[in-house]
Amino acid sequence: MKCPSCIEKKRKTGNRSLRVGNVPASGRAAQNNLCCKCDRELNGTQTAQDKGEKQLEKERRRKLQELFLQYVTGH
């Protein structure tokens, strides 16, 4: 589904090359029926509390993996 906010911006400005974002399937942007870019513009970046525990766990795993790779490769 296309972002209604992007469509409205494109219509108002008449800028045919303006990108229209897609509404994601889940998350805060989906709840607000906006693409991620428009959601950040209107609501600011998400705090750790907003993201939820599942997202935080995913980020922790990614950081641990990056640190492990740095340790193994010596960089």
pLDDT of residue 74: 83
Is there a single domain that holds both residue 3 and residue 18? Answer: yes
Is there a single domain that holds both residue 24 and residue 2? Answer: yes
If the chain, 75 residues long, is cut into consecutive pieces of 10 residues, what is the mean pLDDT of each piece?
A: 93 90 90 94 84 82 95 86
pLDDT of residue 17: 87
Is there a single domain that holds both residue 38 and residue 59? Answer: no
In Å, how far from its chain's centre is CA 44? 11
Helices (H), the chain: 4-13, 28-31, 36-43, 48-51, 53-73
pLDDT of residue 35: 95
The residue range of the domain holding 67 is: 50-75
d(Cα 44, Cα 32) in Å, to the nearest integer?
A: 13
